[in-house]
Amino acid sequence: MRRLRIALLIAAPPLLASCATYRPLPLADVRGADSVADLAVPAEGLRFPAGSPHRFDPTDGLDVTETATLAVANSPALKLKRDQLGVARAQSFAAGLLPDPQLSVGKDFPVHSGPGLTSAYNLGLSEDLGAWLTRSSRVSAARSQASQVSLELFWDEWQAVAQARLLFGQVLNLRAQAVRLDAERAALAPVSAYVRKALQAGNLTYDAASAGLNAVSDVEQRSAANALALHQAEAELRRLIGLAPRAPLPLSGSPYAPQPTDAQMDGALADLPHRRPDLLALQAGYQAQEAKLRGAILAQFPALVLGFNQARDTSNITTRGFSLGITLPLFDRNRGNIAIETATRQQLRDEYAARLLSARSDAWRLQADLQTLANQQAGLRRHARALDQARASAERAWHANLLDWPTYLAIRSNALTADLDLLAVEQEREKQAIALEALLGNTDIPIPTAAQASQP
């Protein structure tokens, strides 16, 4: 026992030194940046698109590439996903740790003294060998799960890029609609004044003046609805890139609206399982499940606990020996867990097949939608141009008293509707193009390999 006490005294300091210590982490009061100049991109040299360095300079307004970069860098939702990745990597580290051996110490004292009696003790050291047997499967499963979480994070970053591009175009489109509606309201002001003056003079009845009154009211309602949509889009974009709610949002440049050819579609779809992060994540999840199933099969073998002990009884007889504990595989044999892991593997396999089929089907549908929208956009552009010319002619004729104001208002209303319809189709086409870009895996972001995804 004296040797044991000495050994414990020697081992205690290094064991205590390796223990983790607690440090508090207070909550932060996050308000967002007050201007785009305060936003930071942590990784200098992010490339959007691939192979073409893009300088981050918010002084001249944010273009679509800078907006997408800020979304990846500062999105609160992505920060939470990165925290989840940290948890997954910690779990991967924990999966490789073996259980600590168990040390048991006991001492007995004789109640009645007698010749030759002494205090008794027992000392034992045991280890669960079953954990060693399944360690490789646990480590493989945990690493694949960490890789899956990393790829899911990459997919979320991918979606954040698409969302930033979409909101960028939506804000610009709604601002363009606001400018068009403001111009229409200003153009209708003289007509509205003319109609109200005629009403006050008794030269018009309210029935006859309703067209003029309704024209102004219709523009104001459209303007109010557009303002509400603009407020929501700007708020979502500010939140995505880390701006404060009332911070200015200067945007510059053109929206992002790619148009892949059929040949590019064929190539992207053929390489889809090797490009889309969500499909790669499902592949990593499937590999993790394969490892879990192997571990469940290994766990059906008897669990072993091996121990060594030394003891002395009260008659001062010292003994040394070992103990071996074994689970008899008579009833359970881990059959339940094997059945669960087998069924889960089949579920993941079917989920991957369904996701891949859905992606290819959606890609061709979006491609067809883009062609339809392109044709519609071309037709609306011609129609809007013709109505713009008619509106300009009608305005000159009305100022020259050669056209009555109800006809003039009808022409203006038709031209306004055509302009707004054209802007709406442009926005829808941009939306579908961005969705197709993300679906095909052509977001111009370098895709990490499975080995890179599993590394801290």
What's the pLDDT at 45? Answer: 42
pLDDT higher than threshold 90 for residue 211: no
Average pLDDT over residues 91-106: 78
pLDDT at 403 over 80: yes
What's the pLDDT band for 401 if we cut at 50, 70, 90? Answer: confident
pLDDT of the residue at 300: 77
Domains contained in the chain, number: 1
- Is residue 67 predicted with pLDDT exceeding 80? yes
pLDDT at 50: 44
The alpha carbon of 342 is separated from its chain's Cα centroid by a whole number of angstroms, namely 29
For residue 252, give the 3-state DSSP assignment. coil
Answer yes or no: is 292 within a domain.
yes
Residue 241 domain boundaries: 133-301+336-454
Q: Which secondary structure element, helix H or strand E, spans residue 226, and what is its range?
A: helix 206-241
- pLDDT average, residue stretch 339-365: 90
| DSSP string across 52-106 | SB----GGG-B-HHHHHHHHHHH-HHHHHHHHHHHHHHHHHHHHTPPPPPEEEEE
What pLDDT does residue 73 have?
Answer: 82
74 lies in a domain? Answer: no
Tokens of 219: 């523009």
Determine what percent of the chain is predicted with pLDDT higher than 70: 83
Judged against a pLDDT cut of 90, whether residue 296 lies above it is answered with no
Q: Is residue 442 one of the residues assigned to a domain?
A: yes
Residue 41 has pLDDT above 70, yes or no: no
Residue 354 falls within a domain, yes or no? Answer: yes
CATH code of the domain containing 204: 1.20.1600.10
Check whether 364 has a pLDDT greater than 80: yes
What per-residue confidence (pLDDT) applies to 418? 93
The Cα-based distances of 132 to 102, 296, 323, 337 in angstroms read 15, 14, 18, 19
Q: Is residue 245 part of a domain?
A: yes
Placement of tokens 């939470």 in the chain: 80
| 163 found inside a domain | yes
Does residue 445 carry a pLDDT above 60?
A: no
> Which pLDDT does position 402 carry in this prediction?
87
**pLDDT value at 51 more than 60:** no
| CA-based nearest residue to 165, from 447, 432, 441, 448 | 432
Q: Is 433's pLDDT higher than 70? A: yes
Question: Higher-confidence residue: 391 or 84?
Answer: 391
Of 67-71, 160-164, 232-236, 328-332, where does mean pLDDT reach its minimum?
328-332
CB 298 within 8 A of CB 329: no
The pLDDT value recorded for residue 450 is 46
The 10 Å Cβ neighbour count of residue 232 is: 13
Q: Which of 5-9, 58-62, 230-234 bottoms out in mean pLDDT, i.e. has the lowest?
A: 5-9
pLDDT digits (tens, 9 = 90+) for 178-192: 999 999 988 888 877
CA nearest neighbour of 323 among 310, 335, 333, 334: 310
pTM here is 0.75
Q: Is the pLDDT of residue 15 over 60?
A: no
- Write the DSSP symbol of residue 446: P
Report if residue 151 sits inside a domain: yes
> Which of the given ranges, 33-47, 226-240, 256-270, 334-348, has the highest pLDDT on average?
226-240
In a domain? residue 311: no
Averaged confidence pLDDT in the chain: 80
